[in-house]
């Protein structure tokens, strides 16, 4: 019983103490006054990951209408009652091919269709050890197929760690923050390079770097006052002085320091770009997180950070039933939030080409539906990359065949085998961010050398 309680205690302390507290003020930008003169440094860069937790259905996110490979009829045939009407789709083009985005993604479609488009679509991305099709999948040994392919927890861990076999203890965002060149760019900064706005995340965890956790619009988690510091130290010192508990003291001190630094930096900062509510006028959690990210980017020069990595989450995508209505709601939240964030970064902060946002999700979903009006866990999925440095208005990677039982299908349900690996997708972002090619890159992405292209060219 003692061991279990100690573990629970440590888990709660560690998840809280690295949080940047005293941040109720982040929900009150309008009450801040004076420091709005902060500007984004010329050499600054940021990566912003939006994790669509639960496994977004890519089949109803990016849909072929008329392409050289296939057309809407093939999609409709495989989708059955879950097929979206062709007339409802938001058209986008990739060369001579026409696709449609989900009807609730008009804001992202409009950005994609701009003459200098800041949106790229990367097709059929997923965890891979090496290139694979239906035939090689059927004959592959366990060491060549990602572990527990259709498990939420395993695939979330793999996407965030880029470790498809075994357990990753660090995330690829955290490992990027560990790279010496990135640390040099952040030299002297007292605030960490990686920040999560949705609780503790593997993605932000490095071997050497400590991430911050910033709760958008939340109540204070840590107070920077001396009295609060003393109180927290008493909490962690009640035990018998075991080494694990003493480590928690160090984390607590670090968390309070982060809180003090960020709270002071944000004092007086305003974000004027409007961010959307949810479709039913409830709180839009992703919009809140992205607004928080925008505020932190605005004060990067005050924090002394040349590179930042952010992790945001939008949950609810495990659509085993009632998918059409659920995805309508969530994809509208996503599209409107991403568009507002890009407008804020590009127009208000003038840093459009310095900030790149990208989506991730543990897996896609089956093309064929189930008896509950939903879909089941699958593998490959389509993703969006947004930013002024993005070579937008086109697709990257290989869009898969939607013919059931094709070389892209593990079975007869449209369970797509990825044609682009997470390593390739992430390494392309990492190289733009400043990670050198060669050994530094392959130390982060252990299977990158198994693929022909280590840089997909979308940025």
The reported pLDDT for the residue numbered 272 is 97
Q: Helices in 140-225 by DSSP H: which ranges? A: 152-161, 172-178, 180-185
Q: Residue 76: pLDDT band by 50, 70, 90 thresholds?
A: very high
In this prediction, residue 250 carries a pLDDT of 65
Where are the strands (E) in 315-405, listed by range? 355-360, 381-386, 395-396
pLDDT at residue 35 tops 50: no
Least confident of 14-23, 109-118, 287-296: 14-23
Rg (CA), the chain: 22
Q: What is the pLDDT of residue 48?
A: 98
Q: Which residues contact 162 (CB under 8 A, 6 or more apart)?
A: 168, 171, 172, 422, 423, 426, 444, 445, 446
Mean per-residue pLDDT, 130-152: 94
pLDDT of residue 248: 54
pLDDT band at 371 (very low <50, low <70, confident <90, very high): very high
- Domain for residue 262, yes or no? yes
SS3 label, residue 38: coil
Neighbouring CB atoms inside 10 A of 149's CB total 19
Q: Give me the DSSP letters along 218-275.
A: PPPSS--SHHHHHHHHHHHHSS---HHHHHHHHHHHHHHHHHHHHHHHHTT----S--
Q: How confident is the model over 284-309, as a mean pLDDT?
A: 95
| CA–CA dist 350, 333 (Å, integer) | 24
In a domain, 185, yes or no: yes
Phi then psi for 183, rounded to 5 degrees?
Answer: -60, -35
Size of the chain in residues: 459
Q: Tell me which residue of 325, 314, 326, 318 sits closest to 376, measured CA to CA.
A: 318
Q: How many domains does the chain have?
A: 1
pLDDT at 184: 87
Nearest to 349 by CA among 303, 294, 287: 294
Asked whether residue 456 is assigned to any structural domain, the reply reads no
Residue 2 pLDDT > 80 = no
The CA distance from 435 to 420, in Å, is: 20
Please state, in angstroms and rounded to a whole number, the distance separating the CA atoms of residues 380 and 131.
13
pLDDT, tens digit, for every residue of 331-369?
999 999 999 999 999 999 999 999 999 999 999 999 999
| Percent with pLDDT over 70 in the chain | 84
Residue 107 lies in a domain: yes
- Read off the pTM: 0.89
* Residues whose CB falls within 8 Å of the CB of residue 166, separated by 6 or more in sequence, listed in order: 147
**pLDDT above 70: residue 78:** yes
pLDDT band at 228 (very low <50, low <70, confident <90, very high): very low
Q: Whose CA is closest to 383, among 358, 408, 350? A: 358
Residue-wise pLDDT for 164-214, tens only, equals: 998 899 999 999 999 988 988 888 888 999 999 998 899 999 999 888 999
> In the chain, what percentage of residues exceed pLDDT 90?
75
Longest dimension (CA), the chain: 70
Answer yes or no: is pLDDT of 75 > 60.
yes
Using DSSP's 3-state secondary structure scheme, residue 394 falls into coil
Residue 33's pLDDT is: 30
pLDDT at 49 over 90: yes
> Is-contact 113 393, C-beta < 8 A?
yes
Under DSSP, the state recorded for 279 is T
Domain that residue 143 falls in? 2-450
pLDDT for residue 440 is more than 70:
yes
- The reported pLDDT for the residue numbered 38 is 56
335 inside domain: yes
Rounded mean pLDDT of the chain? Answer: 87
Please provide the distance, in angstroms rounded to a whole number, between the alpha carbons at the two ends of the chain. 52
Residue ranges of the alpha helices (H) in 267-356?
A: 285-298, 300-303, 323-343
| Domain membership flag for residue 377 | yes
Mean pLDDT of 3-30: 40
> So what's the pLDDT on residue 187?
87
SS3 391: coil
pLDDT in tens, 244-290: 344 456 667 777 888 888 888 888 899 999 999 999 999 999 999 99
Cβ atoms of 314 and 53 within 8 Å: the answer is yes
264 domain residue, yes or no: yes
C-alpha of 162 from chain center: 13
Count CB atoms within 10 A of the CB of residue 371. Answer: 6
The Cβ of residue 449 has, within 10 Å, a number of other Cβ atoms equal to: 12
Range 32-38 average pLDDT: 39
Distance of CA 170 to the CA centre of its chain: 15
Tell me if 306 sits within 8 A of 46, measured CB to CB: no
pLDDT tens profile 101-119: 999 999 999 999 999 999 9
Residue 415 — pLDDT band, cuts 50, 70, 90?
Answer: very high
Sheet holding 97-101, edge to edge: 62-66, 97-101, 90-94
């Amino acid at each position: 019983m003692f061991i279990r309680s100690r573990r629970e205690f440590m888990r709660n302390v560690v998840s809280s103490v690295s949080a940047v507290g005293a941040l109720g003020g982040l929900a009150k930008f309008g009450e801040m006054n004076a420091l709005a003169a902060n500007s984004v440094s010329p050499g600054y860069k940021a990566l912003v990951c939006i994790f669509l937790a639960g496994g977004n259905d890519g089949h109803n996110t990016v849909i072929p209408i008329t392409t050289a490979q296939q057309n809407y009829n093939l999609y409709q045939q495989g989708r059955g009652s879950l097929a979206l009407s062709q007339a409802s789709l938001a058209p986008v083009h990739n060369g001579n091919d026409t696709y449609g985005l989900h009807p609730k993604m008009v804001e992202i479609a409009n950005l994609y269709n701009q003459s200098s488009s800041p949106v790229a679509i990367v097709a059929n991305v997923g965890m891979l050890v090496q290139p694979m099709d239906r035939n090689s999948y059927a004959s592959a040994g366990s060491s060549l197929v990602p572990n527990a392919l259709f498990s939420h927890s395993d695939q979330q861990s793999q996407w965030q760690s880029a470790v498809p076999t075994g357990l990753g203890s660090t995330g690829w965002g955290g490992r990027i923050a560990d790279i010496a060149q990135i640390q040099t760019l952040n030299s002297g900064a007292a605030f960490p390079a990686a920040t999560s706005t949705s609780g503790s995340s593997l993605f932000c965890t490095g071997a050497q770097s400590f991430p911050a956790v910033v709760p958008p619009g939340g109540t204070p988690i840590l107070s920077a006052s001396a009295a609060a510091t003393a109180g927290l130290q008493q909490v962690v010192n009640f035990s018998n002085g075991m080494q694990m508990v003493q480590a928690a003291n160090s984390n607590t001190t670090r968390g309070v320091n982060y809180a003090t630094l960020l709270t002071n930096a944000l004092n007086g900062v305003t974000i004027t770009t409007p961010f959307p509510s949810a479709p039913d006028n409830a709180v839009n959690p992703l919009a809140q997180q992205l607004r928080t990210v925008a505020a932190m980017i605005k004060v990067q020069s005050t924090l002394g950070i040349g590179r930042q990595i952010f992790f945001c989450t939008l949950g609810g995508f495990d659509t085993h039933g009632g998918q059409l209505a659920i995805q309508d709601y969530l994809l509208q939240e996503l599209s409107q939030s991403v568009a507002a964030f890009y407008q804020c970064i590009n127009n208000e902060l003038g840093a459009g080409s310095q900030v790149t946002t990208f989506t991730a999700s543990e897996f896609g979903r089956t093309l064929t539906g189930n008896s509950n009006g939903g879909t089941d866990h699958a593998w490959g999925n389509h993703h969006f990359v947004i930013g002024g440095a993005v070579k937008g208005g086109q697709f990257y990677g290989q869009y898969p065949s939607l013919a059931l039982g094709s070389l892209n299908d593990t079975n007869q349900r449209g369970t797509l085998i990825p044609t682009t690996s997470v390593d390739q997708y992430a390494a392309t972002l990492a190289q733009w961010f400043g990670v050198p090619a060669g050994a530094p890159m392959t130390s982060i992405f252990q299977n990158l050398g198994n693929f022909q292209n280590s840089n997909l060219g979308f940025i």
